[in-house]
Amino acid sequence: MTRSLPKRPIGASAKPCTISRNRSGLACANCLRSQLELSIVGSTAVLLLRSSCELIEDDVVVALMRLCRPAVAVSLALSRSTRTRDELGALVHHERGRYFCGGLLANLWVRALWATGVATLAGLVIVPVALAASSDPHRAKPYAAIAAAGMAVLFFGVFFDPRRPLRLLHFDLAVLLAFLIPDALGRAGFDSWPLMTTPLLAYLLARMLWIGCRPRPAHGPLLPVISTRALTVVLFVLLGIRVALNLDGGVIDVGYGSVIGADRVVQGESLYEGEFPDLVRPGYFEHGDPYGPFTHLAYVPFETVFPWSGSWDSLPAAHAAAISFDLLVIGGLFMLGRSLWPERGRELGVAMAFAWVAYPYSLLILVFSTNDGLVAALLVWTLVLARFPVGRGAMLALGTAAKFVAGALVPLFATATGRRPREVLTFAIVFVATFMLVTIPLLPDGGFSEVWDRTVGRQIEKPPAGTIWNVVPATDALRPLVQIAGVALAIIVALVPRRRTLSQVAALGAAVLIALELSHTFWTFTYISWWAPLLLAALLARHRGAEEAGGDVARTPTRSVEGESRESAPSAL
């Protein structure tokens, strides 16, 4: 008995038509005459194999790949990797010629993904060797580098979807891990390593701008191969390893200077007058500390419990501060996940916290006990409180008072919930009041001018290092244009887009920080930690939970900064 299937409208190209889905699987003659070859293959084969043979969509694609020439096969493989089963029934909903271009791009993505994967694995081998060969006692232990390599594998593997090997999230995570390669080369004595970091930063800048302006959810589950409960166990195990590595590691000049500043605050001495003592490695502290006042205030509780001995010893206050800042970032990311996904916030929160814990460059600042974790924590909690003008104004003011680079995000967060004058004014008043509250008591006799000269001024006067501007001097003529573009971006994101979700705010914030780092003449790998939590939040929030992956993906609800529910069309990116 012939089984009749319902008629469904299928667009073989930009011009839609109705194809009768019966056991013969034949398409109407008008459709076959007017469409491109790839549209014909896609529409007729999907109908024939799905209706007559009752194969699932993945099997349909596999069967097609055996019959088609290479360009067609790659195109259909890309569709299989970026679309769920329900959507493969609408395989040909694209404008004329889109499939052929998609096939060529897919081939390029395959090659780029494999090349990045091989290079990253090579970097994971080079890093432990380079660190083991280092004779500097202030470097990390060799086993710390090996632990970082293992965490890098987990960082990528947990989010890897074997059913969608070409999804763009895999490439994004590979780019984040690719910083290991120039890092290893730089430690091994290769002076031109900034030539590798600049393209990576430029890609991440473009990616964050795209996500910030195109708020569309991505396809596929967030955790394809592991449950949330199991990932929580892994998270706590890695957290214990990180704490152990911190306690066994040393403290570099950044943490040392923060402890000295806290000691000066406790002793009632001026923070920005005189010189810091030259201990162990002369020349590191030739002037007052280059960080904002809140950095030293944040170290005061730890310096009170573990007083500074007056020498560059184990500095337990710096270890305790670094661990505390790290825990604040982890807790903030978990709370941020619950804000981004009201119904499945635990899964996203655990995933984001795990991504931070497993990322090698969050481990770097913990092993060296730097103060960069404080900036990351304050920015994450600014996002958590983004729906409240008072909360985000106070947190961003503390971040700016810790390191002035956070002040570049003031325009973005001033209009995070819209351009209503009352909310913008409330944010501005709270921001200025909080900043003054923590800054004025520590001002030297020279006032803000002297603070500027001894902090931002000294940073600007630093010899160029770690950037393309010092490796290729001919490019220095372009640096003013990049600086102007960075400042313009910080202002533009306050106005565009007019409405934005919380994940968009995270993406745009990461973009602004990356743009400023690209324009500066001094760069180091610890700066990654400033924007890494914002970037991870923007990337992971686009992927739905595992339980939702098998359902209808036509429209996916997201949450705006104002707390309203919004719907966005899915995107292949």
Reported confidence tier of residue 139, pLDDT bands at 50, 70, 90: low
Least-confidence region, from 117-126, 301-310, 322-331, 536-545: 117-126
For 422, counting Cβ atoms within 10 Å of its Cβ (0-12 exposed, 13-18 middle, 19+ buried), the class is: exposed
Least-confidence region, from 41-50, 140-149, 160-169, 213-222: 41-50
Q: Residue 103 pLDDT more than 50?
A: no
**Rounded CA separation 282/33 (Å):** 80
Look at residue 87 and tell me if it is in a domain: yes
Given 42, 76, 96, the domain boundary residue is 96
Reported confidence tier of residue 312, pLDDT bands at 50, 70, 90: confident
**Rounded CA separation 45/27 (Å):** 10
134 and 13 together in one domain: no
498: Cα within 13 Å, side-chain hemisphere: 1
Region 349-370: mean pLDDT is: 94
pLDDT tens-digit series, residues 105-127 = 344 455 555 555 555 555 554 45
Given 38, 66, 96, the domain boundary residue is 96
Region 267-281: mean pLDDT is: 68
89 and 147 together in one domain: no
Q: Residue for token digits 């995000």?
A: 409
Region 528-549: mean pLDDT is: 81
Look at residue 367 and tell me if it is in a domain: yes
What integer pLDDT is reported at residue 113 of this predicted model? 55
* pTM of the entire predicted model: 0.75
pLDDT tens-digit series, residues 194-220 = 999 999 999 999 999 999 998 788 878
Q: Residue 290 pLDDT more than 50?
A: yes
Select the more confidently predicted residue: 289 or 39: 289
What integer pLDDT is reported at residue 69 of this predicted model? 39
Q: Taking all residues of the chain, what is their mean pLDDT, rounded to a whole number?
A: 75
Region 16-25: mean pLDDT is: 36
72 and 202 together in one domain: no
Region 335-339: mean pLDDT is: 92
Distances (CA, A) of 298 to 230, 309, 397, 413: 34, 19, 14, 23
Reported confidence tier of residue 237, pLDDT bands at 50, 70, 90: very high
Reported confidence tier of residue 92, pLDDT bands at 50, 70, 90: very low
Select the more confidently predicted residue: 520 or 119: 520
Q: Residue 228 pLDDT more than 60?
A: yes
- 453 Cβ contact list (under 8 Å, min separation 6): 446
What integer pLDDT is reported at residue 189 of this predicted model? 82
Least-confidence region, from 57-71, 147-161, 256-270, 478-492: 57-71
Angle subtended at Cα 473 by Cα 472 and Cα 477, rounded to the nearest 5 degrees: 115
Angle subtended at Cα 351 by Cα 349 and Cα 353, rounded to the nearest 5 degrees: 70
18 and 132 together in one domain: no
506 close to 412: Cβ distance less than 8 angstroms? no
Look at residue 276 and tell me if it is in a domain: no
Reported confidence tier of residue 28, pLDDT bands at 50, 70, 90: very low
What integer pLDDT is reported at residue 462 of this predicted model? 73
53 and 110 together in one domain: no
Identify the domain containing residue 232 by its residue range: 104-253+291-568
What integer pLDDT is reported at residue 134 of this predicted model? 45
Most confident residue range from 41-45, 66-70, 91-95, 153-157: 153-157
**Rounded CA separation 52/482 (Å):** 58
Reported confidence tier of residue 60, pLDDT bands at 50, 70, 90: very low
Region 369-386: mean pLDDT is: 96
Look at residue 2 and tell me if it is in a domain: no
Look at residue 271 and tell me if it is in a domain: no
DSSP state of 214: -
Look at residue 297 and tell me if it is in a domain: yes
**Rounded CA separation 353/332 (Å):** 8
What integer pLDDT is reported at residue 270 of this predicted model? 80
437 and 536 together in one domain: yes
Q: What is the DSSP string of 340-399?
A: H-SSSHHHHHHHHHHHHHH-HHHHHHHHTT-SHHHHHHHHHHHHHTTT-HHHHHHHHHHH
Quickly count: other Cβ atoms within 10 Å of residue 102's Cβ. 21
Given 96, 131, 156, the domain boundary residue is 96
**Rounded CA separation 67/90 (Å):** 20
224 and 296 together in one domain: yes
Number of domains in the chain: 2
Helix (H) or strand (E) segment spanning residue 544: strand 543-544
Look at residue 385 and tell me if it is in a domain: yes
**Rounded CA separation 156/113 (Å):** 13
- 376 Cβ contact list (under 8 Å, min separation 6): 325, 329, 362, 529, 530, 532, 533
175 and 34 together in one domain: no
Region 228-245: mean pLDDT is: 94
**Rounded CA separation 361/144 (Å):** 12
22 and 132 together in one domain: no
108 and 71 together in one domain: no
55 and 72 together in one domain: yes
What integer pLDDT is reported at residue 387 of this predicted model? 93
164 close to 219: Cβ distance less than 8 angstroms? yes
Least-confidence region, from 101-115, 213-227, 239-253, 310-324: 101-115
430 close to 389: Cβ distance less than 8 angstroms? yes
325 and 377 together in one domain: yes
Quickly count: other Cβ atoms within 10 Å of residue 287's Cβ. 15
Give me the residues paired with residue 566 across strands: 558
Look at residue 208 and tell me if it is in a domain: yes
Q: Residue for token digits 């202030």?
A: 138
**Rounded CA separation 81/571 (Å):** 13
